């Protein structure tokens, strides 16, 4: 290069000084933590178990790249919360290698459209995609309210809650399932909803009850209402295979076939030969050698199915004519039962061949024989031609039966649409088909006081009838004469 030209070209050092003087920094920008993003997001998960997959939040720099040495403290909270749920578990963690992992988050109510909001001091937050919290029902029971047990052993209830019978610690009615606050480590195998109380049984046979207790129906030795489950004070060594709830009393049967009852006893419904109410379980007085395969508590009375397939009942609607110990039901010649179900003031039995018989009060036609004439002995339910039943459930003033094919039929009072045939208030004296949604096949039905619920084999729940307390569980308080799906 000619010398004259070289004089007009600044040195590299001079260029650097010139650029620095002009405010330019040639030092490469260093990555720094700037924002959060979800690396792993939840989809659908079962209520009460940890959210799966476990959410992971990644820390990014200003260019959108991972900051591998970031150790920021990250917190997650519910963003969208469609059901008013509570997020529990470890919600704040320290990132490792630029990733914050959350492994034990729980959401206590079912619903669609939940999101998680991730935040960290000094960083831009992030929102997850919407996901669903579901309930897969394993067992279901309708009383004045409704309760269910999920496949993971959690219990949820909804509907009336004046005495704390929903078990969530409040007395507010709920139109969607709320989690029963169970003692640590307790899971239920079955649950039963009564008048204003509820009970559940663990796989090991321990019974817990909650709700109204003025007659001792919770069995804990007191008359104090409970808003969350308390253990039943069973005799030493006694475990229950199942419990059944009436209006103001409770009964259970052991694996050995002994029946116990507790609570209100003005009509002799405890079966111990007295009319004295009990705050702890007392053994039902039975003839020597008699053992029960099942018991069913009604509003004012109780029935049991002996291991011989004979039905026994005790107590009726008026105290002066009550039988205060089990009395054999006078079944027709050759008829024996494989199941019994007790309602308000009636009871029903199911034969091995699928025929249904009912007896007791017949207001509204709940015996199903085409009349409204009461009967002290079982009468054959006039099922449609070709219809046989695999299961029966007696409610307050109505009865329902399920066929092997998964169809449900109901009969009796229909003032609130509890028969599910799409009509109100037309009572039925013979079985009428429930108008199930297209393609829905039921695996179990439970008749409550003024509503009915059923579940599918896949664990979906449906209810119909009265919904004043939210007992249909569909998120409304609107009565429905056809099945509506429970929010799950």
- Give me the DSSP letters along 379-424: EE--PPTT---SEEEE-SSEEEEE-TTS-EEEEE--TTSTT-SS-S
Residue 320 has a pLDDT of 40
CA distances in angstroms from 147 to 175, 234, 479, 485, listed in the order given = 12, 23, 18, 14
DSSP H helical ranges for 91-141: none
Q: Give CA angle at 97 (94, 103), nearest 5°.
A: 50
Count Cβ neighbours within 10 Å for each residue of 437-459 and write b for 16 or more, e otherwise.
eeebebbbbbbbbbbbbbbbeeb
The structure tokens listed for 330 are 């006078």
What pLDDT score was predicted for residue 379?
Answer: 98
What would the 3-class secondary structure string for 165-231 be?
CCCCCCCCCEEEEEECCCCCCCCCCEEEECCCEEEEECCCCCEEEEECCCCCCCCCCCCCCEEEEEE
User: Nearest Cα to 115, choosing from 17, 201, 41?
Assistant: 41
Residues in the chain: 488
Instruction: Using alpha carbons only, give the angle 279, 452, 394 rounded to the nearest 5 degrees.
Output: 60
Residue whose C-alpha is closest to residue 305's, from 321, 285, 329: 329
Q: Is 157 in contact with 181 (CB distance < 8 Å)?
A: no
Task: Name the 3-class secondary structure at 26.
Answer: coil
Which residue segments constitute the domains of the chain, with CATH numbers given?
A: 33-132 (2.60.40.10), 137-485 (2.130.10.30)
Q: Please, are residues 45 and 15 in contact by the beta-carbon 8 Å criterion? A: no
Q: Where are the beta strands (DSSP E) in 136-225?
A: 137-142, 145-150, 155-159, 174-179, 190-193, 197-201, 207-211
Q: Are 458 and 468 in contact (CB under 8 A)?
A: no
pLDDT tens over the chain, length 488 residues:
333 333 333 333 333 333 343 444 445 556 689 999 999 999 888 887 899 899 999 999 999 999 999 999 999 999 999 988 899 999 999 999 999 999 999 998 898 899 999 999 999 999 999 999 999 999 999 999 999 999 999 999 999 999 999 999 999 999 999 999 999 999 999 999 999 999 999 999 999 999 999 999 999 999 999 999 999 999 999 999 999 999 999 999 999 999 999 999 999 999 999 999 999 999 999 988 999 999 999 998 999 999 999 999 999 743 344 578 999 999 999 999 999 999 999 999 999 999 999 999 999 999 999 999 999 999 999 999 999 999 999 999 999 999 999 999 999 999 999 999 999 999 999 999 999 999 999 999 999 999 999 999 999 999 999 999 999 999 999 999 999 999 99
- Separation of alpha carbons 156 and 111, rounded Å: 13
User: What tokens were used for 27?
Assistant: 């030092």
Collapse the DSSP code of 16 into the 3-class scheme (helix H, G, I; strand E, B; otherwise coil) and give the result.
helix
DSSP label at residue 345: S
3-state secondary structure of 341: strand
Report the alpha-carbon distance of residue 74 to residue 242 in Å, rounded: 46
Tally the C-alpha atoms within 13 A of residue 173's C-alpha that lie toward its C-beta: 16
* Residue 211 bridge partners (DSSP): 197, 226
* Both structure tokens of 135: 């309930």
Strand order in the sheet with 278-283: 240-245, 249-254, 259-263, 278-283
**What value, to the nearest 5°, has the Cα angle with vertex 272 and ends 396 and 334?**
65
CA distance 88 to 105: 6
- Give me 167's structure tokens: 């078990």
What pLDDT score does 108 carry? 87
**Rounded CA separation 269/329 (Å):** 15
Task: State the DSSP H helix or E strand holding residue 451, giving kind and residue range, or none if neither.
Answer: strand 451-456
Give the C-alpha separation, 340 to 353, whole Å.
Answer: 14
- Strands of the 44-46 sheet, one edge to the other: 44-46, 131-134, 111-114
β 56-61/33-40 pair status: antiparallel
Phi, psi of 204 (to 5 degrees): -90, 0
């Amino acid at each position: 290069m000619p010398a004259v030209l070289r004089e007009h070209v600044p040195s590299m050092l001079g260029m650097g000084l010139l650029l620095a003087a002009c405010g330019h920094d040639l030092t490469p920008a260093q990555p720094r933590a700037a924002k959060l993003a979800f690396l792993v997001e939840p989809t659908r998960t079962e209520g009460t178990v940890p959210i799966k997959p476990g959410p992971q939040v990644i820390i990014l720099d200003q260019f959108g790249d991972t900051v591998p040495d970031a150790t920021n403290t990250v917190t997650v909270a519910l963003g969208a919360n469609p059901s008013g749920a509570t997020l529990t578990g470890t919600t704040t963690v320290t990132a490792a290698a630029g990733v914050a992992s959350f492994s034990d988050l729980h959401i206590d109510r079912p619903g669609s459209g939940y999101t998680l909001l991730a935040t960290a001091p000094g960083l831009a937050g992030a929102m997850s995609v919407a996901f669903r919290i579901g309930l897969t029902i394993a067992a279901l029971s309708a009383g004045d309210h409704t309760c269910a047990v999920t496949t993971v052993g959690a219990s949820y209830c909804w509907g009336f809650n004046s005495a704390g019978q929903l078990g969530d610690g409040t007395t507010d009615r709920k139109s969607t399932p709320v989690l029963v606050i169970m003692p640590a480590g307790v899971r239920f195998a079955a649950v039963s909803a009564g008048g204003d109380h509820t009970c559940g049984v663990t796989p090991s046979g321990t019974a817990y009850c909650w709700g109204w207790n003025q007659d001792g129906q919770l069995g804990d030795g007191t008359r104090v209402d409970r808003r969350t489950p308390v253990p039943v004070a069973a005799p030493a060594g006694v475990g229950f295979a199942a419990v059944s709830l009436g209006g103001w009393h409770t009964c259970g049967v052991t694996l050995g076939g002994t029946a116990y009852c507790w609570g209100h006893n003005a009509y002799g419904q405890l079966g111990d030969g007295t009319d004295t109410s009990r705050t702890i379980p007392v053994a039902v007085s039975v003839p020597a050698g008699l053992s029960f395969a099942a018991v069913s508590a009604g509003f004012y009375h109780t029935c049991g199915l002996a291991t011989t397939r004979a039905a026994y009942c005790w107590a009726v609607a008026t105290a002066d004519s009550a039988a205060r110990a089990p009395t054999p039901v006078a079944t027709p010649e050759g008829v024996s039962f494989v199941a019994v179900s007790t309602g308000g003031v009636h009871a029903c039995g199911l034969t091995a061949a699928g025929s249904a018989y009912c007896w007791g009060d017949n207001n509204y036609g709940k015996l199903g024989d085409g009349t409204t004439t009461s009967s002290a002995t079982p009468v054959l339910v006039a099922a449609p031609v070709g219809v046989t039943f695999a299961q029966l459930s007696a409610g307050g003033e109505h009865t329902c039966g399920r066929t092997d094919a998964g169809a449900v039929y109901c009969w009796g009072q229909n003032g609130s649409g509890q028969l599910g045939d799409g009509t109100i208030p037309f009572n039925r004296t013979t079985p009428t088909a429930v108008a199930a949604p297209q393609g829905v096949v039921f695996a179990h039905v439970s008749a409550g006081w003024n509503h009915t619920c059923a579940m599918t084999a896949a664990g979906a729940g449906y209810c119909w009838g009265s919904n004043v307390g939210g007992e249909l569980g569909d998120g409304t308080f609107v009565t429905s004469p056809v099945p509506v799906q429970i929010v799950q």
